[in-house]
Structure 1
Amino acid sequence: PATATSLDNLQSSDFGYFESANAFTSSLGNIVGVRNFSGTAGVIIDRFEFIPVTATLEAEYNLERAQKAVNALFTSTNQLGLKTNVTDYHIDQVSNLVTYLSDEFCLDEKRELSEKVKHAKRLSDERNLLQDSNFKDINRQPERGWGGSTGITIQGGDDVFKENYVTLSGTFDECYPTYLYQKIDESKLKAFTRYQLRG
């Protein structure tokens, strides 16, 4: 919002709009208002508007949100590399945003964003030195994938995790711990390079 140096001779250019970015539903009896202004400056409110959100407006907002989230995955606009802090889980959450875009209002943009998310997933898989990052098998071929103790279950994807995930049961004593491991071929490791394990 705009600010004015003096409350005398205010012009329309001294005022600005504040618009809540989130649409919300309201049940009967709810109160809409403003409180807790920060700072010592006075605040002048010309008017409030509380208007219904149209499907088009909501679709545009969701599309803009999804576009920002997809673009934030990459180091540049040409999408040649992922940002180092981007995880598979992060990519899955962005994929959920794209999946729930309206086919009616933004089908072409949804397809384009879906392709970018798939590209991000491929880039993530390429930089990951672990095999079978989606937990398809455990203890089938420990020399080429995951090994672990008994009591580990593989769960199918859901709304939170788009792909498989594992559940490790609790351990009752130190003699029989619950564990999951994978050996990385030394030839894949680069000299003088630090690696980060995330999960």
Structure 2
Amino acid sequence: MPKLFPGYKDEIKKKIANEAFAIFLEKGFEKTMMDDIAARLGVTKPALYRYYKNKEELFIASMGDTMLGGYRMIFATSFASDDPITGAGNFFDALLVISSKYSVIRKDLEYIISRNPSLHQEIAGMYGESLVVMRDVFQEHKRKGKIHTTMEETDLAFLCGVVAQGLINNVDMGLDPAEAKRLWLLCFTKLSDAG
């Protein structure tokens, strides 16, 4: 079996996290074993423990790398147009797709956090990074005169994040996605004074 070389620790950790994330998506957290991840990578299980102390740490790392990167991409591409309302609609559509794709993992994350409250800080850090991405996009739209709110961009990003996540959670509980999008666009328009 190939060895995982310490000189390339960051690259190796990223490769492990990416492979682990794919397995977590297939099986969920509880059914995924470190043996599964090691087998997919062609290494021994002890080799994985040199980089991650346990499955929970690997789960959080894999989720952070993959989901945060995906979130950055959809936010940047959704709001690439000069029309922030169109961007907000594209963003919400992409969130619905991601929410559906990652629903099992989201439930696993809630379970892990309930068992290990120290992970709250790591999750808060990931959430903070996503807010920075939103804030930066809103600052650019404000600079271009497309968003007219007097609200600070950081506050706008936070409120938009809360509203979007709340609506996504309601879709998970049965709210019609088209109605959720309508409410999102209404709220975004009012908060950002766009249009």
State the TM-score, normalized to the length of structure 2: 0.32
Structure whose alpha-carbon radius of gyration is higher:
1
Q: Which has the higher helix share?
A: 2
State the TM-score, normalized to the length of structure 1: 0.32
